[in-house]
Amino acid sequence: MKSRRKETGIPIPWSVFHGTQTTPRSPKAYPALRYLPPRSPSTKIKKQAGENRWIAERMSLMGKTTVITGGARGIGLALAEAAAEAGSNLAILDVLDKPQRDLSELGVKAEYYRTDVTKMDMLEETFGRISREFGRIDNCVTAAGIVADKPFFEHKWDDCERLLKVNVLGTFFCAQLAAKAIREQGTGGSLVLIASIASHMAIPLQRLTMYGATKGAVRVLMTQLAVELAPWNIRVNTISPGFIRTDMTELCAVQQPELYSVFSSAPPLGRIGEPSDIAGAVNYLLSDAASYTTGADISITGGLIGGRIAN
Q: At what angle do helices 170-185 and 120-134 cross, to 10 degrees?
A: 30
196 has catalytic annotation? yes
CA atoms within 13 A on the CB side of 79: 33
* Helices assigned H by DSSP within the chain: 4-7, 14-18, 54-59, 74-85, 120-134, 157-163, 170-185, 209-228, 247-255, 259-265, 276-286
Planar angle of CA 230, 294, 110, nearest 5 degrees:
90
Integer angstrom CA distances of residue 111 from 50, 94, 123, 134, 266:
37, 11, 15, 9, 38
Of these residues, 112, 190, 199, 211, which one is catalytic? Answer: 211
- Residue 201, classified by CB atoms within 10 Å of its CB into exposed (0-12), middle (13-18) or buried (19+), is middle
Of these residues, 64, 199, 215, 284, which one is catalytic? Answer: 215
- Contact in structure between 44 and 19 (CB atoms under 8 Å): yes
- Contact in structure between 19 and 40 (CB atoms under 8 Å): no
Of these residues, 196, 199, 287, 299, which one is catalytic? Answer: 196
Residue 114: which of 133, 104, 129 has the closest Cα? 129
CA atoms within 13 A on the CB side of 193: 36
CA distance 16 to 144: 44
CA distance 82 to 64: 13
215 has catalytic annotation? yes
* Catalytic residue list: 196, 211, 215
